[in-house]
Amino acid sequence: MSDTAESTANEASKDFIRQIIEEDLASGKHDKIITRFPPEPNGYLHIGHAKSICLNFGIAQEYDGQCHLRFDDTNPTKEDTEYVDSIQEDVRWLGFDWGDNLFYASDYFEQLYSWAVALIEAGLAYVDEQSADEIRKNRGNLQEPGVNSPHRDRPAEESLQLFADMRAGKYADGEKVLRAKIDMAHPNMNFRDPVLYRIAHAHHHRTGDQWCIYPMYDFAHGQSDAIEHITHSLCTLEFEMHRPLYEWFTENIEVPATPRQIEFARLNLTYTVMSKRKLLQLVEENHVSGWDDPRMPTISGMRRRGYPAEAIRDFCHHIGITKYKSTHDVGLLENAVRHVLNRDALRYMAVIDPIKVVVTNYPEDQVEEMDAVKNPENPELGNRKVPFCRELYIERDDFMEDAPKKFFRLKPGGEVRFRCAYWLKCEEVIKDADGNVTELHCTYDPETRGGENPPDGRKVKGTIHWVSARHALDAEVRVYDRLFKEENPDGAEGDFLDHINPDSSRTVQAKLEPALADTAPGETVQFERLGYFCADLDSTPEKLIFNRTVPLRDSWGKKNK
């Protein structure tokens, strides 16, 4: 490929936002790119926010610019320092850093108030005394124009005094609001005299009781961008109809800069909900254990489940940035997780539904240490030692008494390879009084140590994992699956809560190989043949707890046909 053709191909591969940025740099409109990630501290971040984080911080890195972390803390009734702390932790965990560029909309409350006063003085804002219901009713709809407030034409001096009295705390919540004076017949509903300030006698997590009036998001957001000299204000498509209002404010207020708002499609995933209100409902009604429940689409939930930050970044890069609304298969995210963990996760053996095997011809007091590879994708990591003795545990479903012809695991009279150990043959099945299988008696072939083929040339097709009963660690293993059984719980019949998957979480008592005793909380490993599992944050050497991150392969579609 020629240099010109390669350059053209690279340009074509860039998303539309990066194309705009490169045009602005090439034209000299900007010599430095400044973006921002502006979360509201009223909940935990989810995978949709991760897309915005990767976009805003990623662009700043690519173009040697900077990205600000700014909390849009304009609603004290729903905000808390718990959310501020969790958001910072999530952004850092994803691999990004804002440096010295941590800001809050509350940093600008005095300046925003001054600009609101300037709008009143210019005849572009007024204090309204209608109730919220009256304002909503009088806005009209897409077919009918709105109705002017009876207070719309009050003198500027009167509105200035009323606004000052609002700030001084002379009125109750909802008694008065400040509105922009634009056009009550405008086809864009956002232009129909939007509310700029409302009264809220609520304690703010940063400013305390200093203020009792708070700017609305639409008024605070664009001006905050301007104060910080943001060059490109990137937001999701639901703000597209708000962009003209964003620009109206920056045009009618003497702001220090004029950022450009650009919208992109938000991230939607199958088998989950992304509404912050619905996620809060799941938490408050105890459908999940908290914001960091491993079944939640929150970043903290995915971290607790064992998703690597790299996998989330890779997924966000893979799905790209477009203007088109779409829903992505959660299987794509799970595959990104498998891709990273297959390369990085250490291998161990664990049995989550144990049945005992007694090797009757193996010496009772003998213990051998078998060599097992730590990760076949990273041979330089070397091997680990796994103890083997007379009594073992295997998975219950690795044995079948009345096995079909193509069942290649353990069965009466059948022989199977025990991973990195020996070949074992099932000689006897022990049952309890109810006919349940409780124990298997097997014999081993000493010529097959390490799983090698025996000298006589016979072959087996099955290999199963196992754990030494004498050395096994007890552990609580939480097997997580998708939280909803419907692909689109928001669009399915009934309430979204009706579609919670009753099998999304189950807890089993497992047996682990002893090397797992040192697994640090938050570390993800592979349980061979079972999947990837993460040591829970509450896991201790005295009580091991593992959460299933993902199975080795996606069996959801097959299981739910």
| Residues taking part in catalysis | 40, 266, 276
φ/ψ of residue 329, rounded to 5: -70, 125
* Alpha carbons 111 and 445: distance in angstroms, whole number: 82
Cα angle for residues 164, 166, 168 (degrees, 5° grid):
70
Contact present, 60 and 33 (Cβ < 8 Å): yes
What tokens does 300 get? Answer: 């903290």
Phi and psi, residue 255, nearest 5°: -90, 155
Closest CA to 297 of 486, 47, 90: 47
User: Which residues does 62 contact at the CB level (< 8 Å), separation at least 6?
Assistant: 18
- Phi, then psi, of 125 in degrees rounded to 5: -155, 155
Residue 328 near residue 347 (C-beta atoms within 8 A) = no
**Cα 196 to Cα 219: distance, rounded to the nearest angstrom:** 6
CA distances from 527 to 53, 378, 497, 516 (A): 32, 16, 32, 10
Q: Amino acid identity, residue 561?
A: K
Contact in structure between 359 and 448 (CB atoms under 8 Å): no
The widest CA-to-CA distance across the chain, in whole angstroms, is 104
Whole-number Å distance between alpha carbons of 92 and 100: 14
Instruction: Determine the distance from the C-alpha atom of residue 441 to the mean position of all C-alpha atoms in its chain, rounded to a whole number.
Output: 47
